[in-house]
Structure 1
């Protein structure tokens, strides 16, 4: 039967009109209850996080702002009987329609007001200890006898979601005001702040203020995140005299300082079954010191690396094209991990050359 005749008959019977009426009613209902839908999803996610990590997340208000924007006000998180881990006065994200429908972490633009992270307490008794504790996977709760292949599949999917979220979040446009990170224990304090952070299609350029045990210094941070090319580039430049990076010496006994550090991360392929990343980095005037390894500071005038990473169901691989360069002395590396029932590792320095 001719399609035009069918359409004409449907039009004559008024079916198109009823369809449009029904669609309009569904859209109206969605707009009336969309805030409730978002609140239910938020509460379910928070409940899942609390059950697994013991972290209670709450918000005073959450809902839609306009057609594409989701916002949350007075968001906070804290472990049981611990100080507040982080808080945000207001956060708002703009998503395209399909990501909005399927709740994908791929925002177009993000506004954040007064985000604050507080890391407080001693080892084993801190408000962030849950991050390094043992957690029970929901799949293991339901199926205690989950086999190794399923366990690896879950880990691979977790890595995929993490990398996907990183690229989805970092390639958005950002408008952040008054970011603060505080670390405090009985012998050490550090305070890191970014008064204002703006990013757009041309990139970002901001200054990080660091206060460490009474000393103050600044780091300039600039770069570009390209959503279409799945490419993230940033450069950190010490302002004035170079200082060791905060926290590392206190927590790891490792002092690292530099004049300039550049890093570029490109996702060549990013799917559930295959992750392929390339990491290019370079550093100028690098100083390394660890009392555990040597009593002398290692000085690198210029260094860099190229790392080719592949992750799939069969192996985790750093390809043999990967290279490390320290003061002109170069080495090609190879690493392979096969997560089968009988796990196997392979680490090789393939070639050293100048």
Structure 2
């Protein structure tokens, strides 16, 4: 048998087959392409109420496709997309396996514009997915790892290995707020990416550059984003839209690995930012600046969980934090957060704080070291089992120099000026030179006990914070799905009043926490002195500061002469002193909800042994306002709240109990 002839015959047969298949393929592929365009056109019209058109579409070579005049126009709206020319090639072997993987991509002269006006949005119909139910069910059956891996693979396959984009615009017109970003050029060749972006917003003109390594097939990237003139990049649009100003010198993004290992997806890399600035009234009253920040991440996707691994690191200047976060539906739905600050010098911590966020700490100096741990775990179906633990370990930690907040002034006379809505109020001398100043020994013991009961029962035993009270506050807020209960101690209220503004900013709250810790743990002022200052500076009514003014304003008597009922009343209005008048009826008596609340406080005081049954004789909860405050009561017909129903009173009473 002549094997050579047989082999030649077989080869000839296969050659004929491939030639016939090739002729068939080339004969029908153009029709297949036109059919695909028609299918997209129909889907755009049916699912997105938009017209999709291509002036010309054809194959170029074996795997290349060219299209000209591509447009998407939503019905009765501005054009969403328009591109003059697109040419691309696909990986045929991957296509036969059902995957679309781009090889090359060239695109020029086009735009995407998002327009919102009085007629609506030109992109609204694209915000809601119309995915088939079967696909949704299929995704639901997949593990988080499988879903994430599938999505990342699809996205990376759509990134070509050879790319050239020219003169592409992204435009936004949001009710007259306009932004234009022109991608004059972007190239990707030999795994090197480079682009130039011209940004125009009102009078601001910027030229951005993205440059670095990009290898979509091996799932790796290392890119830098910066301004060509080395100035700080101003993040566009959000300032006009949300009043948030933000900018940075450069961003460095690294994707090191995307890998499936034993059914778990690992995504590793890091991101860093230099000279990051943010400004918003809810954050701070001035620019907040972080010189250097870096996030080394390892994100894990499992069968029924997503986690930020504890090997991740967040670094702000010299401060390093080891975070851990996990969302799991393995048994119940749980949320877990951990944070660990390894032992570090206290001075490095102070100098690492973002500028503008902790203005009262500027100039502060410290000795020694510390470490910190936070542990939070919440089971959505068992909120009462919430875990919250915050602990700080000190090693010869000592504050040697205070910053702008001179905490030591609490031990002597000083002038206090409340800040209300950004305005300094009249000066109040906290000391013997003020006739209204009242030492703790000259204040009715009933007031001391009532205020501690309602505001901070463990004031004399804690160090500024009550972990369990904060945990209970979290549980309450989770159950009500709103911020309905706080965990503020008298120490925190004192620091807030004396050293900080009343602005509700992130900056003020964070400063409050740190200043309280320093005040309490460095024994700068004794508890008795702190309580005395607290009684003499807090607001007890409209332009009424200190208990000396308050006792005369309401009852025309000295603080030492206050009765139990009067003291409980004064304690009850501390959370909202300017609205005290709404607790009274048109006849000048306390409303039923206010009476219930005050009796509730007295009962707690009785149970805790702070008062005796004899103390309550003739104390039925009624108070007689005879001082200047009486002029603010809405008496008789002037009081629109005089006829509140019992149901409304019950609501107010129940709200008042939340603090206990």
Contact 1:68 1:100 in 2 (8 A): no
Q: Does 1:99 align with 2:88?
A: no
Contact 1:160 1:272 in 2 (8 A): no
Partner of residue 197, structure 1: 186
Report the TM-score, using the length of structure 1 for normalisation: 0.84
Contact 1:171 1:226 in 2 (8 A): no
Partner of residue 485, structure 2: none
Cα shift at 1:338: 2.1
Contact 1:164 1:270 in 2 (8 A): no
**Dislocated runs of 4+, deviation >6 Å:** none
Report the TM-score, using the length of structure 2 for normalisation: 0.47
Cα shift at 1:98: 0.9
Q: Does 1:130 align with 2:119?
A: no
Cα shift at 1:206: 2.8
Q: Show structure 2 runs of 5+ residues with no match.
A: 345-660
| 1:74 match: secondary structure | strand
Structure 1 stretch displaced more, 12-21 or 161-170: 12-21
Distance 1:187 1:60 in 2: 32
More helix by share: 2
Cα shift at 1:124: 9.1
Contact 1:52 1:137 in 2 (8 A): no
Partner of residue 262, structure 1: 252
Q: Does 1:84 align with 2:79?
A: yes
Distance 1:60 1:156 in 2: 41
**Alignment counterpart, residue 139 of structure 1, candidates 124, 127, 133:** 133
Q: Show structure 1 runs of 5+ residues with no match.
A: none
Q: 1:161 and 1:341, CA in 2 relative to 1: closer, same or farther beyond 3 A?
A: same
CA shift digits 1:98-136 (9 cap, x unpaired): 134446332222111113110111499211223444x34
Contact 2:161 2:191 in 1 (8 A): no
Contact 2:226 2:233 in 1 (8 A): no
| 1:320 match: secondary structure | coil
1:1-354 correspondence to structure 2 within 5 Å: 8=3, 11=6, 17-48=12-43, 51-102=46-97, 104-122=99-117, 125-133=120-128, 135-139=129-133, 151=140, 153=142, 159-170=148-159, 172-201=161-190, 203-227=192-216, 229-238=218-227, 239-269=229-259, 274-339=264-329, 342-351=332-341, 354=344
| 1:28 match: secondary structure | helix
Cα shift at 1:228: 5.0
Distance 1:83 1:127 in 2: 6
**Relative contact order (C-alpha < 8 Å, sep 6+): which is higher?**
1
- Aligned-pair Cα RMSD in Å: 3.2
Q: 1:66 and 1:15, CA in 2 relative to 1: closer, same or farther beyond 3 A?
A: closer
Distance 1:31 1:103 in 2: 20
| 2:31 match: secondary structure | helix
Cα shift at 1:92: 1.1
Aligned residues: 343
Q: 1:228 and 1:139, CA in 2 relative to 1: closer, same or farther beyond 3 A?
A: closer
Distance 2:212 2:118 in 1: 34
Distance 2:214 2:8 in 1: 53
Distance 1:50 1:158 in 2: 29
Cα shift at 1:174: 1.1
More strand by share: 1
Distance 2:180 2:39 in 1: 33
CA shift digits 1:155-213 (9 cap, x unpaired): 76664343223323445221111011111122411111121222211513332111001
CA shift digits 1:29-72 (9 cap, x unpaired): 00111122233234334544554444543322223111221222
Structure 1 stretch displaced more, 96-105 or 23-32: 96-105
